[in-house]
Amino acid sequence: MHGDDIDDLIRLSWFTAIAKDIVSETTVRGVLDRIMARIGECFAPLNWSVLLLDRKRDELVFRVAVGKAGERLRGKRIPATEGVAGWVVANGQALVVEDAKTDPRFSSRVDAYSGFVTESIIAVPLRTDDRVFGVIELINKLDGTRFSALEMRTLATIADFAAIAIQRAVFLDQLRREAMTDPLTGLLNRRGLERTLERERRRVARYGGELAFILADIDGFKLINDTRGHAAGDEVLKRVAATLRATSRSCDAVARFGGDEFLVLLPGTGSEAAESARDRIAAALEKAAVTCAGGHFTVSLGVHAGEAADAEGILHRSDIDLYRRKEDRASPSFGETVLEAMDEEDVQEATR
């Protein structure tokens, strides 16, 4: 076997090892971390980054940045048409710049963010199905030499592996989300709720704390479907879901776990705070009902708080509280009020 053949086998074995390492990850974060580690080993750059394309804003975002100015660069945005990275996005081609100061495609914006001076750059596209969705960019070598065309081709091959792995991770994440999400409202479904409850049980078992539930039940929902149509019913469901999500904290979980039943899970929340949250949600739902495309609606809310270890018991007692409140406010004229509201809408529609 000739020396060139041996070199080719070594190179192939090396790429195979990198490919297996990268595609073994099942999350985007994991893929990106593996890429960053491999790049650091292979190229010894002073700074290396992954920029992902935000198509809605036409900007490149520093999703991952490692090296001298990594902390300052992470999360920064640049126009998708600017600089060497912008050129790579626009042209879908890898690029090596041996001397940034003399290249008209170079933009000093990133140097202003990072505080260092760019001398040499490699930038390669991340793409799938002939569509560029990001850029891997290396800035300056630790030993002070310039990046070469061979290094550019090597990085481009790694980027091809990375793009496949990222696409796979995004697909898996989408499947996981769909499995735990209600398709109409975008809230957690029953499976997602059970997963969240299990996580809260583990958290409380380790650290202690309280847990509260707020149950929401749309009053007379069957009547809404029967008299206004299922499209109107769907609009009511979506408006209730959006309102619950908007009035909840980032740490809360909101789920649709029945046809017209919703649940807000409030970690670390006692009885008094849960009642305050209930009042806030009730007020927001009253306002939302006025402008709902599906017509006016009302919602009953039940609340209970206690030890998180007794999650099923809390859920049962909050369900009891919901129906107690529903009975307390019920009156013989409730059904008539719903029908009167509908009659008024019908009159408005007929006179437009």
Domain of residue 245, residue span: 190-350
The CATH number given to whatever domain includes residue 209 is 3.30.70.270
The pLDDT assigned to 232 comes to 94
Q: Is residue 184 domain-resident?
A: no
pLDDT digits (tens, 9 = 90+) for 204-247: 888 888 888 898 999 989 999 999 999 999 999 999 999 999 99
- 118 and 80, same structural domain? yes
Global pTM? 0.58
Looking at residue 332, its pLDDT comes to: 36
Decide which of 179, 203, 222 is a domain's last residue.
Answer: 179
**% of the chain with per-residue pLDDT over 90:** 38
Question: Using CA atoms, how far apart are residues 320 and 325, in angstroms rounded to an integer?
Answer: 9
Report CA-CA distances (Å) from 281 to 192, 193, 240, 285: 22, 20, 10, 6
Quick one: what percent of the chain has pLDDT higher than 70? 82
Q: What is the mean pLDDT of residues 114-143?
A: 90
300-313: average pLDDT: 68
The tens digit of pLDDT for each residue in 85-110 reads: 999 999 999 999 999 989 999 998 88
- What are 16's two structure tokens? 């195979």
pLDDT score, position 306:
66
Burial group, residue 67, by CB count within 10 angstroms (0-12, 13-18, 19+)? buried
pLDDT at 89: 94
280 Cβ neighbours under 8 A, 6+ residues apart: 247
3-state secondary structure of 13: helix
Specify whether 88 is located in the same domain as 211.
Answer: no
Task: Give residue 8's pLDDT.
Answer: 45
Q: Between residues 27 and 242, which one has the greater pLDDT?
A: 242
8 and 79 co-located in one domain: yes
Structure tokens at 28: 């985007």
Per-residue DSSP letter, 2 = -
Closest C-alpha to 193, from 235, 252, 245, 247: 252
50-64, 210-224, 297-311, range with the lowest pLDDT? 297-311
Mean pLDDT of the chain: 81
Which pLDDT does position 328 carry in this prediction?
58
| CATH number of the domain enclosing 60 | 3.30.450.40
Given 179, 206, 241, which residue is the final one in a domain? 179
What type of residue is 345? E
The per-residue pLDDT for 352 is 38
Q: What is the pLDDT of residue 257?
A: 82
216 and 314, same domain (yes or no): yes
Number of domains into which the chain is organized? 2
d(CA 299, CA 219): 5
Judged by phi (left if over 0) then psi (alpha if -120 to 50, else beta), residue 67 lies in left
**Burial classification of residue 70, based on how many CB atoms lie within 10 Å of its CB (0-12 exposed, 13-18 middle, 19 or more buried):** middle
Alpha carbons 41 and 1: distance in angstroms, whole number: 29
Can you give the pLDDT at residue 333? 33
